[in-house]
């Protein structure tokens, strides 16, 4: 199978490595600077902007597309340009080809659920985005699942929990604190990529939550991490205490948003995690930290 990864960044590079032995992979980046990282995985690197249909002509025909482009952490307007306009552009550009893709996997976020006061959510839970950006992500999901089929492409969504892994362990945030109460829903980069690979090669599911087995209380996680690293447990604060700070409206909404994400459907589909919980996922980072002490 030939797979095109549009936005071959943090997760896309890991996915390229997972697919490279058995499949032909094309990793697409917007900037020339990112192409060397793609080439280092051993796959073909192509420069193209997902929002530019003419630029996408540089990408060869593929059997499957992964849309993992990033808006660079910028605001809702930039997110819309990439996730909505870019996704639609890619679908239309590849769908118009004589040899169009059979499958599209769009990588979304569990942020589309909004606040559920700590209750469990799954693939059947209605979406209630609470910010402009998560509203954009929900719209992009609709495009992937409804518009892609109009162009002859089977559209699917992998909904990622909070990503962590190499270069994104953020140990200092939790070891130094203060840590605000709430739940963490996480997935290691290797498993985020693994879920996408699974959706390309082993299941026809059109929606899966990519989240590990154990959503965890932030205070509990921070204390566990401190104990494992051999340091003092960090200071804590409640949501009310955190909200006393001078925060943007978007930041306030993030703090007030609480949920636990279930991976039952993913597990029942047959996916096996490399890092089923944060305990396995943070082991390498903890050993590195302790080795520096």
Contact predicate 64/99, CB 8 Å:
no
User: Residue 125: which pLDDT band, with cuts at 50, 70 and 90?
Assistant: very high
Residue 240: which residues within 8 A CB-CB, separation 6 or more? none
Q: Work out the angle at residue 264's Cα, subtended by the Cα atoms of residues 261 and 282, and round it to the nearest 5 degrees.
A: 60
Helix (H), strand (E) at residue 84: none
Between 14-23, 40-49, 163-172, 255-264, the lowest mean confidence (pLDDT) is in: 255-264
Rounded to an integer, what distance in angstroms lies between the CA atom of residue 211 and that of residue 194? 11
Q: Look up residue 158 and give its two tokens.
A: 């992998």
Long-range contacts, stretch 133-136, CB < 8 angstroms, 24+ apart: 133/75, 133/76, 133/79, 133/250, 134/109, 135/76, 136/76, 136/79, 136/80, 136/83, 136/84
Query: Could you read off the pLDDT of 190-239 as tens digits, one per residue?
Result: 999 999 999 999 999 999 999 999 999 999 999 999 999 999 999 999 88
Query: φ and ψ at 4, to 5 degrees?
Result: -105, 125
Judged against a pLDDT cut of 90, whether residue 170 lies above it is answered with: yes
Largest CA distance in the chain: 61
Q: How long is the chain?
A: 293
Judged against a pLDDT cut of 70, whether residue 1 lies above it is answered with: yes
Please compute the mean of the pLDDT values over residues 276-288 and round it to a whole number.
98
Please compute the mean of the pLDDT values over residues 151-160 and round it to a whole number.
98
Judged against a pLDDT cut of 70, whether residue 143 lies above it is answered with: yes
Give first-to-last CA distance, the chain, whole Å.
Answer: 46
Q: pLDDT at position 178, please?
A: 94
Helix (H), strand (E) at residue 120: strand 120-121
Q: pLDDT at position 248, please?
A: 75
Rounded to an integer, what distance in angstroms lies between the CA atom of residue 66 and that of residue 89? 14
Judged against a pLDDT cut of 70, whether residue 72 lies above it is answered with: yes
Judged against a pLDDT cut of 80, whether residue 246 lies above it is answered with: no
The share of the chain scoring above pLDDT 90, in percent, equals 86
Please compute the mean of the pLDDT values over residues 266-277 and round it to a whole number.
98
Please compute the mean of the pLDDT values over residues 264-273 and round it to a whole number.
98
Query: φ and ψ at 74, to 5 degrees?
Result: -85, -175
Q: pLDDT at position 73, please?
A: 65
* Upstream peptide bond of 97 is cis (omega within 30 degrees of 0): no
């Amino acid at each position: 199978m030939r797979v095109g990864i549009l936005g071959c960044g943090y997760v896309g590079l890991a996915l390229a490595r997972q697919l490279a032995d058995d499949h032909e992979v094309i990793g697409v980046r917007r900037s020339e600077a990112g192409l060397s990282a793609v080439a280092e995985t051993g796959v073909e690197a192509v420069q193209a902007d997902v929002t530019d249909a003419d630029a996408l002509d540089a990408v060869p025909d593929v059997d499957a597309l992964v849309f993992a482009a990033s808006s660079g952490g910028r605001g809702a307007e930039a997110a819309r340009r990439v996730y909505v306009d870019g996704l639609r552009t890619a679908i239309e550009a590849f769908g118009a080809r004589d040899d169009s893709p059979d499958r599209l996997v769009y990588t979304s976020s569990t942020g589309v659920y909004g606040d559920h006061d700590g209750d469990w959510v799954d693939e059947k839970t209605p979406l209630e985005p609470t910010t402009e950006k998560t509203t954009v992500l929900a719209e992009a999901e609709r495009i992937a699942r409804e518009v892609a089929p109009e162009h002859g492409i089977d559209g699917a969504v992998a909904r990622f929990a909070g990503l962590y892994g190499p270069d994104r362990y953020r140990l200092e945030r939790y070891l130094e604190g203060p840590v605000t109460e709430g739940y963490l829903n996480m997935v290691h980069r290797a498993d985020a990529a693994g879920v996408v690979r699974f959706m390309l090669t082993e299941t026809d599911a059109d929606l899966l939550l990519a989240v590990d087995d154990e959503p965890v209380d932030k205070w509990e996680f921070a204390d566990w991490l401190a104990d494992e690293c051999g340091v003092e447990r960090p200071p804590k604060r409640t949501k009310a205490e955190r909200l006393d700070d001078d925060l943007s409206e978007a930041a306030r909404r993030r703090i007030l948003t609480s949920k636990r994400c279930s991976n039952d459907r993913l597990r029942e589909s047959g996916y096996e995690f490399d890092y089923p919980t944060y305990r396995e996922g943070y082991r390498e980072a903890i050993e590195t930290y302790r080795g520096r002490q």
